[in-house]
A and B are shown apart, each in its own frame.
Chain A
Amino acid sequence: MLSFTFWDILSNLLLAARWTVLLSLIAFVCGGVVGLLVLLARVSRSAVLRKLSGYYIEAFQGTPLLMQLFLIFFGLPLVGIEVTAWLAAVLALTLFTSAFLAEIWRGCVEAVPRGQWEASESLGMTYFEQMRHVVLPQALRISIPPTVGFSVQVIKGTALTSIIGFVEVTRAGTMITNATFQPFLVYGLVALIYFVLCFPLSFYAKRLERRLHVAR
């Protein structure tokens, strides 16, 4: 019978953790891009766009990420699009991330004082010039700590993709447990890997936030 040493278990988990990291990065970057578009709709002058983007955000914030994954994984094949677990995972996490980032950033845009809008408008700037030169640069500064903080939620969210069969670190943990019958050790290590990935980010987010409060 095959036997697994501690190092076999750990190295296999770490190999799978590459996929957790890659998936988190792609979801965060793509989610950021889509989120920016949703944000622009959310703070636009068109009431229809504001309303639609509001529904979009509510749909993703008010339902479980697991359901979003299932709907994409089982729904897209029905309209003739073949999806792998990897593609469904990327797509679901991107949409999920975009909704949360748009909502976080909306708060940051609204935190820019009203007078800044009025001042730039009185300088004859168009809406896009106001956004580009006055509002977004200021919103960007205060948005960094909560955005870094949210990246932790994205990393933790990737664990759910194990349920639709994507082999990242949680899935690898389940597979290794089934082979080694050492759930305490294996899931302990899985948790530790997530902690090592997430803790520096949440620590950094907290420090950034503190520094921002001191600066103001």
Chain B
Amino acid sequence: MAYSFDFSAVFDYSDVLLQGILMTVQLTAVGTVFGVGLGIVGAAVMTSRSRILRVIVSAYVELIRNTPFLVQLFFIFFGLPALGFRLSAWEAASLAMVINLGAYSTEIIRAGIEATPKGQIEAGLSLGMNRVQVFRHIIISPAMQRIWPALSSQIVIVMLGSAVCSQIAAEELTYAANFIQSRNFRAFESYFVTTILYLALAIALRFVLKMVGNHMFKRRSHA
């Protein structure tokens, strides 16, 4: 008996899919904005003079980079309530995304900061800038420009990784696929369509990040 594919059974639920896409985009947006923000702070600390702070941040980075996102998610969603820290699925998923991307972007941005020529920092200080001004105008902007391609790839990886948030019932795209296949019993078709949607999202996200990069670093592009 040959199996006959029926993709229309999936598109009957296109509103569910659309809702899932929106939620995945939202999750990625929150993760990116706060995760990269956390990464900038983390990288600033990693290149600071305080030894204790450096140890704390590198412990955080290594802990996150060497454990699976799924386990981080389970720990936050199922483990933290034991300490009286109760989160909804949505909050736990967002928090996990931020913490995860925060660790990776700390490492990526740190590499960008360390590539700053010493003379530029000295020049800034000799112009009477304080350390915050030097960091803001001389160190971080060129560093971000340098590492933007690497950071963009990481953001795409984190977006694709958000598929596992369905496991704590955060209602993103994979959750939508699970819902649809539980209704129409068309597992392969549901996941196939969802996979194509993720591919399209990844391509679109790469494009958007490239545009954001071009826009942010426009003035400096010929420097």
Contacts and interface: CB of A to CB of B under 8 A. Distances in A.
Interface of A: 58-59, 62-68, 70-71, 74-75, 78-79, 152, 156-157, 159-160, 162-163, 170, 173-174, 177, 182-184, 186-188, 190-191, 194-195, 198-199, 202
A182 B63 CA distance: 21
A160 B70 contact: yes
B174 interface: yes
Interface residue tally on B, bucketed by range: 35 or more
Given A63-B202, A156-B68, A188-B75, A78 B3 contact: yes
Contact of B79 (A184, A194, A202): A184
B67 A198 contact: yes
B208 interface: no
Interface stretch (B26-34, B127-135, B188-196, B214-222): B188-196
B177 to A, nearest CB: 8
A164 to B, nearest CB: 11
B80 interface: yes
15 contacts: A62-B156, A62-B198, A66-B164, A67-B163, A67-B195, A70-B177, A70-B187, A74-B191, A156-B69, A159-B68, A159-B70, A160-B70, A177-B78, A183-B81, A191-B75
A195 B198 contact: no
A1 B167 CA distance: 29
A67 B78 contact: no
B13 interface: no
Chain A CB count within 10 A is highest, among B67, B83, B161, B191, for B67
B67 A191 contact: yes
Interface string B77-98: 0111111000000000000000
